[in-house]
Amino acid sequence: MFKKLDILDDKDRKANKILRSISKEVTFPLSNEDKETIEQIIKHLTYSQIEKYEKKYNLRPGMGLAFPQLGMLKRIIVIVHEYEEGKFKNYVVINPEIISNSTELVAAEVGEGCLSVNREIEGYVPRFARVTVQGYDIDGNKIKIRAREDLSIAFQHEIDHLNGILFYDRINKNRPFYNESEIRLI
């Protein structure tokens, strides 16, 4: 059975305080509650990217979610990446950190969105075109993931959540848009 997640909204003062907090490192083994939450997130994100379920359950499309967005200040992120029409790859990373990045910057041409920000925010969010993320899988095994383009953006966005940063914090207030000679739009 599908249960819609209760995702915090940054406009709610109490929720914003949680979203602006730094999450704590996670120890292993993971609790059953954390494992169940991860499964719920994967299902929610997958359904949100399939039009039939998105409409049926009234979901906003999203490809990533961090535990703080559910009010849990734990360093756990989940990304469900649709790499081909109807084909998804799940990334669950505990205690993730970016260990290397490209110098090239990219930005999502349509702008970034967030399941905790229920409004349009104009401007480009500069992100590294490629990152290598290190962390642990749900069993506590060390993992390393190389991500590029939209997947790289998703990892940076979700890791920001663990540090109390929302995507619009990274938009230049004085100059929210760039031209293509300054930043590559994807």
Is 158 in the active site? yes
- CA torsion 182→148→23→48, rounded to 10°? 110
Q: How far apart are CA 162 and CA 67, in angstroms?
A: 8
Give the separation between CA 186 and CA 136, rounded to whole angstroms: 29
Instruction: Extract the tokens encoding 163.
Output: 């540090």
Q: Choosing from 39, 82, 158, 180, which is the catalytic residue?
A: 158
Q: Which two tokens stand for residue 71?
A: 């009010």
57's CB contacts (< 8 A; 6+ apart) are: 2, 4, 47
**CA proximity to 110, closest of 97, 122, 127:** 122
SS3 28: coil
Residue 18 CA to its chain's centroid (Å): 16
How does strand 105-107 pair with strand 184-185?
parallel
Residues 30/77, Cβ–Cβ less than 8 Å: no
Which positions are annotated as active-site residues?
158
